[in-house]
Structure 1
């Protein structure tokens, strides 16, 4: 404060209680930390991509899978890295577009840095990070599974050897007797003791959770009656009572127009599904903390300072609509001045 002659005679100050804002920031930071922890520690190869296909982030499992460091990957797309062919990329793009934002998967061939070729089940779904749509992608190495499928589909032999493939169990149903046989790995997946457990079609169907039991029952019936293969992801309860999510595929053997055998493979995908769910919940918690906060919160783009998202408290505080705020800077909105 100054007197009439301009001499400073005092100062004034304004204090603001920022407790609630700090709590909201702490909650957001905790949510982001959980998301990052689940993402980075996942045994599943995970990557976050911008909608233009460029990598924004990857975890260690993804780097290990493709043979490139995180620094070498960020900012590039899968074509830049030479991971897939143009044909496979077109197939993947078509699958994403047809899914219209929903989760989708496609089998593609990855050309690894060391020169090896791996078959990958590449899944992608749309997520929102800081209000910006991104794609969360998972890469599951199914090279061993593809080898197993070839044995099942083209040779119909070596059923007992399927268990030697990592975590892939094989099974077969003799339609005439309805007797079921499992490989050693199938017993492991079901937490069953091969010495005392006798697989039975109806019993195994009943092991699936209530919502999935009708699905597998119909799939088995269609395979037996109509010779129809299936490819499903379902939740089951093992012999020991453990819940597992499994991927199971089946094909049929037909003689004289009738199905004589149904055979297939099963593998445990519980870890992958849990990792995906952990990421989803982490992002959901972050979103809730942001939007319900009583403090005015914004997310701005680093490059130009423009708002890409704001919460309702911010809009009420400065009396803007969302449409008026998004895409503008605080200076453009006269919230701050230079």
Structure 2
């Protein structure tokens, strides 16, 4: 009995803490009636809306709604009532007239005709989504302007992904999501298919990029010309991981080239044209040539095009070009040349050999375009795909690729690496107070400081918001050595980030929370490794912030066991796994006067579980309300059975009430309902309340207690162990009984303060006309002392331990005899 009560007290303390968590939660919380009028609002929503909780009480939802019309809100309420639950996004208007985006999660409890509503401010998330969509639109527009599609082939899974422009180039409906390399080859002209396949295969063998020009064949014989460029990412062992490519529709360019051959060269084009004789001496150029190169015609006529050589291509490059011109009659490719002013620039060059009637080359026609903007667009696409635009750090995608390559490398070298997760403490407060511009300035500075603390080979990435990751490879072959080094680096980062930040005219102080997960080889998946680092970071936050924590497997095990226990507990009521045990309460003559109902859980796999093993989980997950309702219902049903039996109808039955259960607006109505439903004498039902139940909202609690007393229910002030801390509450709540805590009872045999405290409690109860009842009585000496000092009722192992109903009724029979 002693252990049971102590642990229950701990559970009640946990319950009170979680009530405070709800009151101080960042998410808003309402309780409304079925018409949508607010009855209860927490401080989080008051802070979000700008109203006080008192101003919000009594307001209608439509007064806050900035998106729905009042009639729409009314219809929405009816919909939620019919389906019982809804989760949606809308907009609320603050007191100052500004609008915020909110995510609403609401449940309607038909038995209470109430809505329970959680509100989350998602304004920043919406703005982030808008910025992301804007960046994506910029990427799509850049590809459209350059007629440049992009693609990515995952060589491990075989998955092929295309950009919107690529779908347009290949004329494939974007709804076709299953793309493969074989499907791509199927669109290539049969005469070019082998060339394209060989070029790609050879690039994988050579581990070099490739460029290839080929045709696409469509229905009806229609042809497109495309230029493809591909680069492949390899792991450290040389195994290809993924290929990224660009596809440019050059059909128009090809048609122009063909027109030049057919029409004996036209200069009416925006592309530069240069004509040479068979010996490659320049004999004619057009205006675009001068605009691009800076050379006037008279400066280049009679000269060899090598005068514009940039020096970027070796001799073998030009030998291959001339061999193709000789055998095929045309060559296309990217060339870097030098303008007259010395600037080196890229151009896309196509050279065609013009043959005379004898089949001999008489002229070479070179058509080229300045592709500087296209190269810049390619670079922009690459940066958008792999780098964070604010800090220029690798983004999540590139970080994951590097981490994916780091794990097998670690396995081969048998060394340890580390992943660090960090975020800046209270960063949202900075954005809220100084604005997002200052927040961005700080993030840029954070990125610089982190990079200054690690090696050039290490990866520092920004995942989003104020979350950063660090990947450190090749630390040590010994785990302890690796742990020490990782801790040193993390501490160096922590110290660097804790220095003040100069943000424009403001000086700002912030600190990081850093979590570290070590890895060696492929023991953990990517997701699991990141989860471990993330858990360690949140442990650092829970440890007071501005600190470093390593991932502890015990932490993960505890979390998994707690999640499993919560899942089982959600089903416990429906599966009829909860049990009530009863412990007898006796008077001074040791005659039974009542019992206390104590909860047990008969778990199918873990056996009989005591409250301290599952009540804390119930408190955290709000399951305590459902469980408390079950206990109240079952206790009243037992009182009804005793009354019907006629032999034990005079017994009282004490039921513990949790703070969260007591705080519900419909608690008094629920008690009244269960009394009416089982037709029991309310005087036989005793509700045991702790000081923590009433101390949070004294005025509201007193009103509820008065309402309960008007029902005829008996009330007991449970765990009463200090006169002075609880005296004020006793005067206000006017309970029927004071219950002396078992810890005080255990200490009275030794004399001293506990004995004096018992006397003080009894004296106080006498003055306030209250009964005194002691729990945890285990010895005759304790019983004698309590009797001598005016105690009136007792409970403890001296009289009987908590037992199932059958054993309890047998015990009552013996005591009554």
TM over 0.5: yes
Indicate whether 1:63 and 2:167 are aligned: yes
Please state how far the C-alpha of 1:39 moved relative to its aligned partner.
3.9
1:205-246 Cα offsets, whole Å, 9 max, x none, are 34443434x659x949x959x968765422234357765311
Of 7, 13, 19, the match for 1:10: 13
Of 286, 307, 310, the match for 1:183: 286
Paired with 2:302 and 2:150, the residues of 1 have a C-alpha distance of 36
Counterpart residue number, 1:109: 215
Counterpart residue number, 1:295: 421
Please state how far the C-alpha of 1:74 moved relative to its aligned partner.
3.1
Please state how far the C-alpha of 1:4 moved relative to its aligned partner.
2.2
Paired with 1:84 and 1:208, the residues of 2 have a C-alpha distance of 34
1:266-321 Cα offsets, whole Å, 9 max, x none, are 23332332233334445264269847974279xxxxxxxxxxx9934999633331
1:35-91 Cα offsets, whole Å, 9 max, x none, are 8566423322222333365432413x3333334453x24332376586335664554
Please state how far the C-alpha of 1:169 moved relative to its aligned partner.
3.2
Of 365, 377, 380, the match for 1:278: 380
SS of equivalent to 1:286:
coil
Of 120, 127, 137, the match for 2:226: 120
- Which has the higher Rg, Structure 1 or Structure 2? 2
* Distance verdict in 2 for CA 1:185–1:77, change over 3 Å: farther
Of 314, 334, 349, the match for 1:233: 334
Indicate whether 1:209 and 2:408 are aligned: no
Q: Which runs of 5+ in 1 are unaligned?
A: 14-28, 298-308
SS of equivalent to 2:366:
strand
Please state how far the C-alpha of 1:103 moved relative to its aligned partner.
1.7
Indicate whether 1:324 and 2:560 are aligned: no
Counterpart residue number, 2:347: 246
SS of equivalent to 1:7:
helix
* Distance verdict in 2 for CA 1:79–1:183, change over 3 Å: farther
Of 54, 68, 74, the match for 2:177: 74
Please state how far the C-alpha of 1:174 moved relative to its aligned partner.
2.9
TM-score by length of 1: 0.62
Say whether the 8 Å CA contact 1:35–1:279 is kept in structure 2. no
Say whether the 8 Å CA contact 1:192–1:240 is kept in structure 2. no
Paired with 1:277 and 1:121, the residues of 2 have a C-alpha distance of 17
Paired with 2:133 and 2:241, the residues of 1 have a C-alpha distance of 20
Paired with 1:107 and 1:204, the residues of 2 have a C-alpha distance of 23
Please state how far the C-alpha of 1:175 moved relative to its aligned partner.
5.5
Please state how far the C-alpha of 1:104 moved relative to its aligned partner.
1.6
Please state how far the C-alpha of 1:181 moved relative to its aligned partner.
0.8
* Distance verdict in 2 for CA 1:329–1:85, change over 3 Å: farther
Paired with 1:203 and 1:80, the residues of 2 have a C-alpha distance of 44
Counterpart residue number, 1:93: 197
Say whether the 8 Å CA contact 1:232–1:249 is kept in structure 2. yes
Say whether the 8 Å CA contact 2:347–2:368 is kept in structure 1. yes
Please state how far the C-alpha of 1:111 moved relative to its aligned partner.
3.8
Paired with 1:148 and 1:95, the residues of 2 have a C-alpha distance of 26
Paired with 2:139 and 2:245, the residues of 1 have a C-alpha distance of 11
Q: Which runs of 5+ in 2 are unaligned?
A: 19-128, 235-239, 388-392, 403-417, 424-468, 474-481, 487-515, 533-552, 564-817
Indicate whether 1:141 and 2:249 are aligned: yes
Q: Which has the higher helix share?
A: 2
SS of equivalent to 1:266:
strand
1:124-166 Cα offsets, whole Å, 9 max, x none, are 22258xxx943322222222333455567x76x612x1x446x
Say whether the 8 Å CA contact 1:171–1:183 is kept in structure 2. yes
Indicate whether 1:311 and 2:464 are aligned: no
Counterpart residue number, 1:22: none
